[in-house]
Amino acid sequence: MSKVGKLSVGYRVMPEETEFFWEVVADYRESISEVYFAWPGQASGRAPVEEKYQEQILWELEKIKKLGIQLNLLLNASCYGRQALSSDFAREIVSLVGFLIDRLGIGTITTMSPLVAETIKKNFPKINRRASVNMRLGTIAALKYVQDFFEGYCLQREYNRDTSRLSEIQAWAIKEGKELQILANSGCLNFCSFQTFHDNAVAHEKEMDSNRVSDLPPLCRQFYKHPRHRLEFLQNSSWIRPEDIQLHQQIFFGSYKLATRMHGHPRMVLAAYHSGRYQGNLLDLLEPGFSEDWWPLMVDNTRFPPDWFSQVLTCAKNCWHCDFCCQVAGKVMISLSPEDA
């Protein structure tokens, strides 16, 4: 069982695999409190799920619910275009959520939309509303502004390692009766300059012209393509290794979300965070990951020094006057090229 035991994992259809996602969840159910999912055809924070999988999704989620695991519907697109303030969209939400309550007993909705949050409150007052990580709520002030809209928050990932900020937010959340969560295995750049653009583009993916530009990779892939930037992966990231979750929990006390909706190997991610150990390329554990982009360089997760995370949690974030991450990079960033052997 996970040393934290409060993991929220993202459902994905796995047509290319020999097993179903619910079977993966069943193997690690002691560590999982929640499975979050997007409804086919609905815009969300990732590419839309094809509608042809609707019956399979219902079947798998029913099995997951019978395991005693809660279900969380994602209505977390950053943009709904002309539907954003539409009464028709509100009625569509009521119809969908009502159906999923009756069929699956869903208990939580994650959203970025005030329309969605208010519609849920008005029509389904027992449903828990959670603010999406993509709202970038990382201060007490930001949480206060929307506390009437949400019972819980997935916090801005850029502050995952900011212990003083997390402690202050946790104290406020306890006082106000709010639930907190953070995303543990994001490979995204901290404070990504193109996040708003990217989130909006994903929200409108179904509407995009088929004649789309194919050679415009995400900013993180363009940035990390240059070896001189790769030290930033250690210095300026939000990911928390499976080995470091227990220490982080002593500060945070909240729950942890794992990005597995788009990950190619969700079983590997769940196994790592369930056991608190991962022997492999850290890049493979994240979403997005950069293994192919960095080849033949890997980040050997077993080579991190024992004091890695305690140093990260207490550092002044003044990288111009510190070489700790540079020293760690020399240990963990390993070339797999035969020429470098």
Q: Tokens at residue 102, please?
A: 């009756």
**pTM for the full predicted model:** 0.93
* Structural domains in the chain plus CATH codes: 7-207+214-219+236-291 (3.20.20.120)
Q: How far apart are CA 91 and CA 95, in angstroms?
A: 6
CA 137 to chain centroid, in Å, comes to 14
Q: Quick one: angle between helices 163-176 and 245-252, nearest 10? A: 50
Identity at 299, one-letter amino acid code:
V
Containing 75, the helix (H) or strand (E) segment is strand 70-75
What pLDDT was estimated at residue 212? 73
CA 1 to chain centroid, in Å, comes to 21
Averaged pLDDT, groups of 10, the chain, 341 residues long: 72 90 96 96 85 95 98 96 94 97 98 98 98 97 98 98 95 97 96 92 81 76 92 95 95 95 95 97 96 94 96 85 92 84 52
What pLDDT was estimated at residue 2? 46
What pLDDT was estimated at residue 5? 53
- Helix then strand count (H, E) for the chain reads 15, 10
Q: How far apart are CA 130 and CA 133, in angstroms?
A: 9
What pLDDT was estimated at residue 155? 98
